[in-house]
Amino acid sequence: MTTDTAYIRDTFVPAKPAPGRTGGPILWLRTNLFATPTDSILTVLGVVFLLWAVPPIYNFIIGQAVFPGGTVEDCRVEGAGACWAYIHARFNFFIYGFYPIDQYWRPNTVFVLGAALILPLLIPSAPFKRINAVLFFLVFPVISFYLLSGGVFGLPYVPTEQWGGLLVTLIISLVGIICSIPLGILLALGRQSDLPIIKTLCVMFIELWRAVPLITVLFMASIMLPLFMPTGTNVDKLLRALVGVTLFASAYLAEVVRGGLQALPRGQYEAGASLGLSYWKRTSFIILPQAIKHVIPGIVNNFIALFKDTSLVSIVGIFDLLNTVQAASSDIDWASPTQAVTGYVFAAFMFWIFCFAMSRYSLWMEHRLDTGHKR
């Protein structure tokens, strides 16, 4: 007796052949560059674009470039690329500005000291974090200030007008970072506070600085700060810019920290309160350590923005890295068709190195701190 089923397969379907390639460059090309006809067209267009764009850039930076040892005549040759000899000749100006040449050891010491202190701070497994942080955030700025400006311990006095180049760029960004952290945290706490007057003041402060461009803040600091001070007070030009940058940076940092405070579960606040801890104890032992940890990547991104923004001080007449490059580009001794471009490429590379390193560090920290609580 047969069943009603019309058809029953009684043999296996023959096995399909194994896929031809499971790896290797050809499969990679196929899946990544020539997966579909559209993909192939995009790839071809991309290759054409690279063929067009890369050789001139390569020729400018390396191929036809004049390296240190070359002369200004080499740079003036028709078709010559970047004039690296010019960068080499003016390198000290780009790094130290008008700092007296016989005193270069002072900024150098600051550089070395700063690097020696900040590196262990950035490496999570390095010991003595607390001492290290105190040294870097409190002791280092004081030492650096006296070392750079002098006038004590027999060091000749160097006014801030003579500071310049990368030195000033680093000083402004470091001071901005170091001063904006406590200010930003206080502002963020104030904004989260239950006390209406404190909250309103903090919100107004934060929103005002975040709404206006940094350039107007710098103008304000350089023009209005002297007006605000008692008659006869002379506020240093660099100090004015530092005040502007710090206020500006702290408003942005406050918003980042607020993100961390809001991301904490309410239970953490309640647990702290139910243990009978006072506001400051609860905040500094329970809330902040967790909140800050959450937003370290955001804070680092803030620092990147701040570092790039320091270039704006050149508008109020401070000789930072960008302004020294800009000033040197009208140097007659090295006048050549590629002089300006070479300077900009050099400055761009310096800024890029610092910013890119910071952004990689922030990404790395993000992965490290990712304790798996996120979905």
Partner 1 sequence: MAVQDNMSGSAPRPSLLNDPVIRGIIYQVLVAAAVIAFFGWIVLNTAQNLAAQNKTTGFDFLFRTAGFDISFTLFPWSRTSLYWQAFLAGLLNTLLVAIIGIFFATVLGFTLGIARLSSNWLIARVATVYIETIRNIPLLLQLFFWYFAVLKGMPAVRQSFALPMDIFINQRGLMVPRPLPDGEFIWVLVALLAAFAAAVALGVWATRVRTATGRYPSQVVLGAKIADALVSFLVALLAFSLLANMISGMTTPIVLGASALIAAVSVTRFAPFGRAILAFVFGLTILYALLTSMFPAVPQLVVAAGSALAALMLAWVAFERASDRPPGEGRFPLALLILVAVGVPAFVYWATGAQLAFEIPMLERFNFRGGVQLPPELVALVFGLTIYTAAFIAENVRGGISAVSKGQTEAAQSLGIKEGDRLRLVIIPQAMRVIVPPLTSQYLNLTKNSSLGAAIGYPELVNVFTGTTLNQTGKAIEVIALTMAVYLTFSLLTSAFMNWYNGRVALVER
- Give the residues lining the site for partner 1 (CB under 8 A): 32-33, 35, 37-52, 194-198, 201, 207-208, 210-213, 215-216, 219-220, 223-224, 226-231, 304, 308-309, 311-312, 314-315, 322, 326, 329, 337, 340-341, 344, 347-348, 351-352, 355-356, 359
CB of 145 to partner 1, least distance (A): 25
Dist CA 3 CA 250 (whole Å) = 82
Which letter does DSSP use for residue 374 in this model? Answer: -
Helix (H, G, I), strand (E, B) or coil at 4: coil
120 vs 337 by CB, closer to partner 1: 337
DSSP 215-258: HHHHHHHHHHHHHHSPTT----HHHHHHHHHHHHHHHHHHHHHH
Helix (H, G, I), strand (E, B) or coil at 68: strand
Helix (H, G, I), strand (E, B) or coil at 20: coil
CB of 359 to partner 1, least distance (A): 7
149 vs 302 by CB, closer to partner 1: 302
Which letter does DSSP use for residue 11 in this model? Answer: S
Structure tokens at 217: 């803040």
162 vs 311 by CB, closer to partner 1: 311
CB of 14 to partner 1, least distance (A): 29
State the DSSP H helix or E strand holding residue 150, giving kind and residue range, or none if neither.
Answer: none
Dist CA 172 CA 237 (whole Å) = 12
The DSSP bridge partners found for residue 97 are 163
Q: Alpha carbon of 151 to those of 156, 164, 234, 275: distances in Å?
A: 5, 19, 18, 52
121 vs 340 by CB, closer to partner 1: 340
Which amino acid type is present at position 85? A
CB of 38 to partner 1, least distance (A): 6
135 vs 201 by CB, closer to partner 1: 201
113 vs 201 by CB, closer to partner 1: 201
CB of 129 to partner 1, least distance (A): 28
CB of 95 to partner 1, least distance (A): 17
136 vs 307 by CB, closer to partner 1: 307
Dist CA 267 CA 264 (whole Å) = 8
The DSSP bridge partners found for residue 70 are 68
CB of 259 to partner 1, least distance (A): 13
CB of 336 to partner 1, least distance (A): 12
CB of 107 to partner 1, least distance (A): 22
3-state percent breakdown (helix, strand, coil) of the chain, nearest 5: 70, 0, 25
51 vs 152 by CB, closer to partner 1: 51
Structure tokens at 276: 């009978």
Q: Alpha carbon of 332 to those of 76, 329, 346: distances in Å?
A: 12, 8, 19
11 vs 231 by CB, closer to partner 1: 231
